[in-house]
Amino acid sequence: MEKSRILAGLGAVLLTTSLVAPPASAAPGDPGMPSTRDFGNGPERNQVAAETPGTSRITTGLDAAPDQRWSPRRQGYPRQTELPVYPENPADKSIKLGLVPYHGIAPKLNALQEVSDRVSAEVAGHSALGRDLYLVTVTAPETRAEAARQDRWRALIEDDPAAAKRDRILQRDYKAPVWINANIHGDEWEGTDGALRVIERLATATDAATARLLSRTRVYVTVTNNPDGRIAGTRANGAGFDINRDHATSSQPESRAVRDVVIATQPFVMLDEHGYTGTTLIEPATPPHGQNYEYDLYIKHALPNAEGMEAAIQRLGYPETARADIPFRDYAPGDWDDWPPIFTPMYAIYQGAVGHTVEIPWQVNRNAYETLPVEELRRRSAVNTDVAAATIEAAVGYADTHRGALLADQIEQFRRGWAGAPSPQIPDGFVEGFGPEDRYSTTFPRAYVIPAGAGQRSPAAAARLVDHLAAHDVRVTRARHDFSLAGKRYARGSYVVDMHQPKRGLANVLLEAGRDISDLVPQMYDISGWSHRLLWGASVDISATVAPRVATTPVTIAAPTGAVPAAKGRDLVLTLRDGADVRAVNALLDLGVKLRRTDAATVVVPAVARRDAQVVADRFGVRFSTAPRGTGGTPFEAPVLAAAVSADELFALREMGFEVRTVSTALLSAGADLSAVDTLVVSSGLSYAQLNPVGKAEVDELLARGGVVTRGATGAAFNAATGLLPATAVTGRGDANGVVAVQNTGPVVGAGSLPHSFVYSPIWFTGTGFTVEQRYAADPLVAGHWLPSAPGAGGPEQAAGQASVISGATTRGGRAVLFGTEPLFRAHPKGLYAQFARALFWTSS
């Protein structure tokens, strides 16, 4: 392809973020085709384009302005939207269970819209493979003016809670919003069917009680949050992601869609319908409870609502619904916690909802799906559907019955945020069973500042963080003038997150360092440490007690950051500090630009490629500087990677613009060709010992001339089996995870990296004959949960000072880098991407 065409199509061709191949049967226009943009469902605007005189922004779905996101405004109810109907798919896994297949949902909703003026159905977003995500609203009809008044009241509750509390008409007439999210795990099907049953009953019931309910309530249902997984019978979406681990990161279109739904609807109560736990499980959860919650306002409703749902399933009369497990009431601390904001209900709490996970009882997925008779599977699914419907009906009833208290408490949550009220201190016995083990709170800082100018490590990373916060309804402003705070000078254009704001809990849970909770609970359900401030690559400062005194402007999207300030005729330099820098380098290489590297982190762009550099600077928000005269460097080309990696790592590699060919033990043993590959990446699904002679010969040939980058236990085992570097891998406790402090000591990974990293099942390396790129700090765990695997073994004390990342020339003739950390974990620690990319460039040269 000629360069002019590549330049013209850079936003649409090179930068596509759809990373998953469509189904083999998909045709253009089918819902199975991957999408090159997000169709207005609130994309994560991680790339910030520069605007220079005479140019315009290159816009894709990644840059969509906030007004392009899904919103329920500007119309009354009902909205008679005719949903597109897709061809029947006999391979849909839900059919075997006697459930509604994905292709059957739109016709059913269209039919309900025809017969009922209470039902509105619309497309709120698209899946990773481009399938429609349906949002159904069930409520009594509203004129445009009545709907607009509900919208104004919803905004008033958040923006001016004191005025909302005084507004007697609002108190009387504001409709209680309830949000039901179904089928977020694709092979946990029946939440969709239970929700459809409730929608149909509410739509067609003729009794006065239902009419009164819908005059006071809006019920919102995301009917299937994961149609890709529903059809395929997989927990993950079409990109291989567990969407119910993505809400702090928003890497997937499905999580972005429901993010926008919860912001726009501001529910009092939400349910996330899951399965399967043997008995029905209904949150509230065990400690540790998220320390940024207004937990008193949550638990006072969550516990009685859960008990009401338990009573509802008991009335079904099945032996398996005689009781429910309510973790807060029934489980030990740490067994089913609500600590991280990655889960849908936990995220919804920060948006003002009383959130519940509901786990329906009977397993029908995985081994059960393959081995049980169809009759038994359908019996189980029928029970599960009854349970899902019963819990939804009960939650809607609770919201209606307790509408006044729920409204008052949502107002109070936002009031505390605006007022900067201290974190609640909840007494023992506040609800039955509440005790010292449940008491988690925090001290909110007064403000966060994201510096502009020389004080910012990575302008592209800063812009990404600002866009992310704004997309999640965190209030961010931009300083109009220079200012001083806590003895430090900040440039005009710096961003301020004033923590006197309604959703301060969400702002803080995303930006704070977190907490080491290892000594508080014996185990955790999932990750227990994260921090966009420490792991997303931007410089972010904390002001504990004082807010900046400077005029500011509200921000909906970050200011442009890309620039090529060097004088014409001079070579340019780009430092690889962030994933955006890596994407820019790979885009230039794709354009045929002859790049050079002076070291692992520094890329030189020839003066003749200035126009190309300007294009990628605009697109990715990266900033080039002037290369010193006479700067040399070693030419390099875009590496071709063969990767045996997890889905999240594959996503991150492709997001950075690398050409990646997936491999595995089976594929290599079947004759997969590595002759054009420069570096092999190993973290999952590849065992050298299990390769047949054909596969081993192919790998051996690559090891003799190319590079290797490994991560985790699988990578360490590959290194041991091939004898690449003389290192012994020591494993920490398998469920240990969190944010760790590190010392950057080496020239490749350590060059310019952050002083923090992320671990899950941490590893460190002992021995000699290699370069230590990074070490765990003397007290490594900053936030998370990391206990010893045995007395005196596998804990942070044993990892302290040990090598977490190493590099070196291999015994086979190439180069290798071994990671004991998790720099690409779930597409989350974005500030660590560049260190992994530097390892890829170095090993491939």
**Residue 166: phi, psi to the nearest 5?**
-80, -15
Q: Which DSSP string corresponds to 132-200? A: EEEEEEE-S-B-HHHHHHHHHHHHHHHH-HHHHHH-HHHHHHPPEEEEEEE-SSTT--HHHHHHHHHHH
Beta strand extents in 232-296 (DSSP E only): 269-275, 280-282, 286-289
What is the C-alpha separation between 102 and 776, in angstroms, rounded?
48
**Are the beta carbons of 563 and 816 closer than 8 angstroms?**
no
What is the C-alpha separation between 190 and 4, in angstroms, rounded?
51
Q: What average pLDDT does this structure show over 780-792? A: 97
Say if strands 483-485 and 488-490 run parallel, antiparallel, or are unpaired: antiparallel
Query: Hey, what amino acid is at 110?
Result: N
What is the C-alpha separation between 264 and 473, in angstroms, rounded?
10
Q: What does the radius of gyration of the chain's CA atoms come to, in whole angstroms?
A: 27
pLDDT category at 306 given cuts 50, 70, 90 is very high
143-176 pLDDT per residue, tens: 999 999 999 999 999 999 999 999 999 999 999 9
3-state secondary structure of 619: helix
Say if strands 815-819 and 737-744 run parallel, antiparallel, or are unpaired: unpaired
Is the bond preceding 220 in cis, omega lying within 30 degrees of 0?
A: no
- What pLDDT does residue 71 have? 58
200-246 pLDDT per residue, tens: 999 999 999 999 999 999 999 999 999 999 999 999 999 999 999 99
- What pLDDT does residue 126 have? 98
Q: Helices 610-620 & 579-590, crossing angle to 10 degrees?
A: 140
432-441 pLDDT per residue, tens: 999 999 999 9
Q: In order of start, what are the domains of the chain with their CATH numbers? A: 3-16+562-636 (3.30.70), 70-419 (3.40.630.10), 447-554 (no CATH), 640-844 (3.40.50.880)
Long-range contacts of 312-320 (CB under 8 A, 24+ apart): 312/390, 312/391, 312/393, 312/394, 313/280, 313/387, 313/390, 313/391, 315/390, 316/383, 316/386, 316/387, 316/390, 318/383, 318/386, 320/279, 320/361, 320/362, 320/383
- What pLDDT does residue 29 have? 30
**Residue 575: phi, psi to the nearest 5?**
-95, 130
Q: Which residue has the higher pLDDT, 10 or 736?
A: 736
Q: State the DSSP code for 790.
A: B
* Cα atoms found within 13 Å of the Cα of residue 679, Cβ hemisphere only: 30
The mean pLDDT of the chain is: 92
* Whole-prediction pTM: 0.93
Say if strands 763-767 and 727-731 run parallel, antiparallel, or are unpaired: antiparallel
**Count of CB atoms within 10 A of residue 767's CB?**
12
Q: What average pLDDT does this structure show over 779-803? A: 98
- What pLDDT does residue 786 have? 98
pLDDT category at 75 given cuts 50, 70, 90 is confident
- What pLDDT does residue 23 have? 34
Tokens describing residue 215: 């005059």
Tokens describing residue 555: 């921000």
Residue with tokens 């977190």: 514
| Residue 14 pLDDT > 50 | no
Is the bond preceding 565 in cis, omega lying within 30 degrees of 0?
A: no
Beta strand extents in 534-633 (DSSP E only): 541-543, 552-554, 572-575, 595-599, 602-605, 625-626
List, by residue number, the catalytic residues: 359
245-269 pLDDT per residue, tens: 999 999 999 999 999 999 999 999 9
661-682 pLDDT per residue, tens: 999 999 999 999 999 999 999 9
681-732 pLDDT per residue, tens: 999 999 999 999 999 999 999 999 999 999 999 999 999 999 999 999 999 9
**Are the beta carbons of 247 and 347 closer than 8 angstroms?**
yes
Q: Angle at the Cα of 158 (from 152 to 161), degrees rounded to 5?
A: 95
| Residue 840 pLDDT > 50 | yes
364-413 pLDDT per residue, tens: 999 999 999 999 999 999 999 999 999 999 999 999 999 999 999 999 99
Q: Angle at the Cα of 765 (from 763 to 766), degrees rounded to 5?
A: 145
| Residue 17 pLDDT > 50 | no
- What pLDDT does residue 3 have? 43
**Are the beta carbons of 475 and 498 closer than 8 angstroms?**
yes
pLDDT category at 567 given cuts 50, 70, 90 is confident
- What pLDDT does residue 13 have? 33
